[in-house]
Amino acid sequence: MHAKTDSEVTSIAPSSPTRSPRRPVYYVQSPSRDSHDGEKTATSFHSTPALSPTASPPHSHSSVGRHSRQSSSSRFSGSLKPGSRKVNPNDGSRGGGGGRKGGGGGRKECAIIEEEGLLEDEDRERGLPRRCYYLAFVLGFFILFSFFSLILWGASKNQKPKITMKSITFEQLKIQAGSDSTGVTTDMITVNSTVKFTYRNTGTFFGVHVTATPVDLTYSKLTIASGTLKKFYQGRKSQRVASVSVIGDQIPLYGSGSGLSSSSDVPTVPVPLGLSFAVRSKAYVLGKLVKPKFSKQIDCSVTFDPKKLNVAISLAKSCTFS
């Protein structure tokens, strides 16, 4: 027998029982519709040739499946937008269908992030932050409260109290010779009198606290008697008659009363006197925030008549108010 040539071996190869090496096989796999949301992408995979002629096709198919899933996962992760979470290619090799589920979750997470970003943009375009609304509310409340307080203050200032002088009664007025605290000899005057006036609060929605300066009785610009009005509270739309005791005891006249002395220690001629004091009122309309104040100065001209001791002398037309 002679040796066979290469051409002969080639020609009889189809009928020979020995198998020729397997050619490379290509597989085409389409991505699932659930994991791609409508996109169609065809990815080709190249399987490695079998190492031995006896390699079984199922083993090759499983190897190609693993490579195809890894390649599909890597391509899918590369298609995500910047800023989203990338899918690890190794996640697809943990189990059948794991790559697709992971890819679908990544796309859902990406969609949620994009939706939150759009909502934030809409909130920015819609208006100011919430803290600005709080500041605007506080500022508006302060402005309205100030405006309301100003209205109350203006309304209360127009409701001024009214004071009407009624009378003065002299219980005693006498002049005697004496000396002051330094030993200087001079005429000394003693006065005991009572002043009455009516105080009326015209306020319709507030009461007032009333005080007064000392009530002074003067002769030739010299104070010969004085009295103090007790503090009182006057309710809204009400009035009272206030009474003040004006008393002076042994007040030196220093020569101004030379024409008033008499043997009976009581002046025999009329004595011109002056009466002056100020009445001050304070109202609490809105606590201590709105406190209108009123003040009225009263000046009266009084003439003492020796024949009218213990008789009320009218002051209705003898006083001025300012």
Nearest to 166 by CA among 315, 320, 319: 315
Whether the CB-CB separation of 257 and 178 falls below 8 Å is answered with: no
| Cα 112 to chain centroid, rounded | 39
- Global pTM reads 0.56
Flag whether pLDDT at 210 surpasses 90: yes
Q: What integer pLDDT is reported at residue 8 of this predicted model?
A: 46
Q: What integer pLDDT is reported at residue 218 of this predicted model?
A: 95
Higher pLDDT among residues 138 and 229, named by residue? 229
Q: What integer pLDDT is reported at residue 41 of this predicted model?
A: 42
Q: What sign does the CA torsion over 243, 199, 275, 311 have? A: negative
Q: What integer pLDDT is reported at residue 111 of this predicted model?
A: 57
Token pair recorded at residue 277 = 């004091």
First-last CA distance in the chain = 158
Q: What integer pLDDT is reported at residue 124 of this predicted model?
A: 56
- Kindly state the percentage of the chain with pLDDT values over 90: 36
- How far apart, in Å, are the Cα atoms of 213 and each of 227, 246, 295? 9, 12, 11
Higher pLDDT among residues 14 and 215, named by residue? 215
Phi-psi region of 265 (alpha: psi -120 to 50; beta: other; left: phi over 0): left
Higher pLDDT among residues 9 and 186, named by residue? 186
Q: What integer pLDDT is reported at residue 13 of this predicted model?
A: 42
Name the band, by pLDDT with cuts 50, 70 and 90, for residue 134: confident
Flag whether pLDDT at 224 surpasses 60: yes
Flag whether pLDDT at 240 surpasses 50: yes
- Residue 286 DSSP code: B
Flag whether pLDDT at 46 surpasses 90: no
State the residue for tokens 């003898």. 318
Helix, strand, or coil (residue 76): helix
